[in-house]
Amino acid sequence: MRAKRLAALCLALVLTLSLLVAPAGAVSFTDMTGHWAREDVEYLAGLGIVKGTSNTTFSPDRKMTACEALLFCSRATGVSAADKAKIAASQAEYLGQTLPESVYSWAAEEMAVCLETGIITPYELESMCESGALLKSISRESLAMYLVRAMQLAPLANSLTSYPMNFADVPAITKTLQPYVYLLSTYGVVKGNESNQFMPQGELTRAEMATMLRRAIDFMDRQGISAELPDYTSYSWSGGVIQSVTSTGSGSYSVSYTGNLTGSATVTITTETPIYENNMRTTPVSLKQGQYIRVNTNSDGTLHSVRLGGALKSITGTVTSIAQNSLTLLVDGATMTLPIDRFTKIQVGERVGGQVLIDPLGGYTDAQCWVDGMGHLAELKLSGGTRETAGILTSLETTSGGYSLVVTAFNGAASRYLLPTGAKVTVNGTEGVVSTAYVGEYVRLTVENDGGNKLSALAVETVSDYLQGSVASVYGSDPTYLSLTSLSTGATASYELGGNNLSVKYNGLDITLQQLASGSFATVQLVGNRVVLIDAYPASVVTRGTVASMTYDLTSVLEVRTADGELISFPLDMSDLPAILRDGKTGTLEQIRVGDSVTVTVRYNKVTTLEFTAQKANASGTIQRVVQDSSGVTIDVADSVGETRTYRVPVTATVTRDGVTTTASALRLGDQVALVVSGDEVLSVQAQSASTAGTFQATVLEVNTDKMTLLLKLSSGDPLVADLSGAHIVTVAGATLTMGQLKLGDSVQLYGSYSNTQFVATLVVRL
């Protein structure tokens, strides 16, 4: 850590105007001979952190301005040169408008680091610029606050309730700044003079600043402290409250933790894993039940680091304003503002993810916040309000209580929504009713945040025609034409482009017509017979998430919930199934389980590959009791050593009994079960009953003559795989059939029994 910090400091640092006069050369200054700060000054000069005011002098007794002191503080953070450049670019416009023109050119980059790392707030900087204090000398007590922030110890300072000091002039230290002075004194960064005075209002010299800076950097190196900037990190993470800590030997610990908005997880922390508490390196002894833990992992799944945040505090309030990086609440009549960053887990309705879920115009009414002991917003649940989305109406079906709609977005992703009876419907701005006549039209949806994919309003626009398909070519000039292969018909047709009125986008960004690649998936808007919009995306789109549901039919539907909580539907033609992989091996559709991880590859709006990673059963045993009430099904399961645990099986869980997908209500006393459990909730159940004989009436969905199996849809709607290797196949009239004569959609009656979890048919009658 020390070598890394020193390398970063050596690379970087833009110095104040007074320090730019000359380099330190051999890090020896004529005016430092015999000076008490000589060792610290020359050490920092050797690293390039400080420079002289001339080729030979350092001017140790010159007073530091607030601006100079802040820039010194920025150098304690350990921010790399690469990140510093990115931070400066992101803050350039703001600082150009805020800093005095005479300061911007030499102070902007490190002042940007001050803002990003929390050394100074925008309000504080603006106040200093407006009052002129930025270019005036800084007091020692004010410097203490900025330096503590630079050392990433501000949360610790803010959590202190007492801060006893033995300086002779403690009463002279401003009360609100005493915690900062206390920490610097405790960690040896500041010391009293010969009279044991801190001199809080005293001005700061260049020599004093250099000495304090070296002590601060040395302390941070010993403690392993460096600024962690959420927007400039890329590692994955998960978080929750520690439930248990178990030693696994050799200094390693198994830690189980549960998030309020996510499930439970377990991580093994070794002696090599960096652990931080109060932003300082600590040991596994700090891992304690009830603490919030954030586990950071590299792209290969290895542990990057672990950060402890103390106990979570729950805060509930009314949302007064919100952006993706900030939330303002009214809590018990007082206003509270909480920053939001990528280490904040967010739930909006049923969607759980990151900052991208927040719609500043979402109309959220209430927020439940979980803030850790560091003052960081760890988890946020937003309630109320709506979000807007749009696309092409692909299908419409009547359901109990309303309509089921599938809408295909411009990128080709299809999502299912519920439009309740009585929801507001407009057609071209006028109140209307929904109809299958609008399939293929452009629709704008108002989705309730708290209602899953439930709509509060649907707006249909029929003024323009919309087409979706793949770009075949762009050709001609005056006029120019687009050749598009239709997604629905497969036919290719040409359309005249709208000249100066034409808008062309790719992946949401404006591009020129010449940049539009053949083969792109595109949504095209026509006004009259001319194309006015081409909204294109890559031909192949990859969606990653977890299986939310699987509905089997002649056209089956897979629903996937993405990391940001969006629910996306993928229709699967049973006569032309995509390639299916499960745990890296060839798989079958009926093996899909709710909660499985899945990667879906879509080309031109058709699923071409499904790659599943099964969740492994993490509990098993024999059902001792089944209780069903209005809230669902609860089962008691005895494991192999006789210990009994209770599990709630929600309606969303995948339940398979004797190889047949069913519901939790079909579970029986004595069933042998294997469970996939997350927290207190069961994601899937595989059950084997004592009784193995059965007869079923079903519809053929797939005939696999190589494996001698049928994939069937039972009358209940559930799937069943039957082994026909030893079965006799006949018609109702008694005529013998071969397996190859069974077709998609045939109705059959099966007779047979189970061997383990496989149904083995002895007789198949085609009805």
What stretch(es) of the chain map to CATH 2.40.50.140? Answer: 386-461, 693-766
pLDDT of 75 strictly over 60: yes
Return the SS3 of 762.
Answer: strand
Between 757 and 109, where is the model more confident?
109
pLDDT of 51 strictly over 80: no
Task: For domain 313-383, give the fold.
Answer: OB fold (Dihydrolipoamide Acetyltransferase, E2P) (2.40.50)
Q: Residue 753: how many CA atoms within 13 Å on its side-chain side?
A: 6
Tens of pLDDT, residues 533-569? 999 998 888 888 888 888 888 888 888 888 766 778 8
- Map tokens 């109705």 to a residue: 747
Grade residue 8 by pLDDT with cuts at 50, 70 and 90. Answer: very low
- Count H helices and E strands in the chain, helices first: 10, 48
Supply the CATH classification number for the domain 465-537. 2.40.50
Grade residue 12 by pLDDT with cuts at 50, 70 and 90. Answer: very low
What pLDDT score was predicted for residue 674?
Answer: 86
Task: For domain 233-308, give the fold.
Answer: OB fold (Dihydrolipoamide Acetyltransferase, E2P) (2.40.50)
Tens of pLDDT, residues 111-143? 999 999 999 999 999 999 999 999 999 999 999
pLDDT of 6 strictly over 60: no
Report the top-level CATH class of 540-613: mainly beta
pLDDT of 429 strictly over 50: yes
Q: Note whether 22 and 51 are within 8 A (CB).
A: yes
- Mean pLDDT of all residues in 455-478: 91
Tens of pLDDT, residues 162-183? 999 999 999 999 999 999 999 9
What pLDDT score was predicted for residue 622?
Answer: 85
The domain covering 386-461 belongs, at the CATH homologous superfamily level, to: Nucleic acid-binding proteins (2.40.50.140)
Tens of pLDDT, residues 666-681? 887 778 888 888 666 7
Tens of pLDDT, residues 593-618? 777 889 999 887 788 999 998 777 77
Task: Give whole-number Cα distances, 486 to 226, 438, 523, 586, in Å.
Answer: 55, 18, 10, 31
Q: Note whether 74 and 150 are within 8 A (CB).
A: yes
- Mean pLDDT of all residues in 568-577: 85
Residue 190 CA to residue 199 CA, distance in Å, equals 11
Grade residue 487 by pLDDT with cuts at 50, 70 and 90. Answer: confident
- Mean pLDDT of all residues in 400-423: 89
Residue 702 CA to residue 694 CA, distance in Å, equals 21
Grade residue 646 by pLDDT with cuts at 50, 70 and 90. Answer: confident
pLDDT of 619 strictly over 90: no
What pLDDT score was predicted for residue 329?
Answer: 96
pLDDT of 86 strictly over 80: yes
Q: Note whether 338 and 326 are within 8 A (CB).
A: yes
647-651, 722-726, 728-732: least confidently modelled range = 647-651
Report the top-level CATH class of 693-766: mainly beta
- Mean pLDDT of all residues in 215-236: 91
Residue 245 CA to residue 242 CA, distance in Å, equals 8
- pLDDT more than 90, % of the chain: 54
262-266, 483-487, 740-744: least confidently modelled range = 262-266
What pLDDT score was predicted for residue 658?
Answer: 75
What pLDDT score was predicted for residue 5?
Answer: 47
pLDDT of 66 strictly over 60: yes
What pLDDT score was predicted for residue 680?
Answer: 62
Grade residue 15 by pLDDT with cuts at 50, 70 and 90. Answer: very low
Residue 722 CA to residue 729 CA, distance in Å, equals 13
Tens of pLDDT, residues 351-370? 788 998 898 988 899 999 99
pLDDT of 320 strictly over 50: yes
Q: Note whether 281 and 224 are within 8 A (CB).
A: yes
Q: Note whether 204 and 138 are within 8 A (CB).
A: yes
Q: Tally Cβ neighbours within 10 Å of residue 440.
A: 16
What pLDDT score was predicted for residue 677?
Answer: 80
Buried b (16+ CB within 10 A) or exposed e, 697-712: ebbbbbbeeeeebbbb
- Mean pLDDT of all residues in 472-489: 86
619-688 has CATH 2.40.50 classification: yes
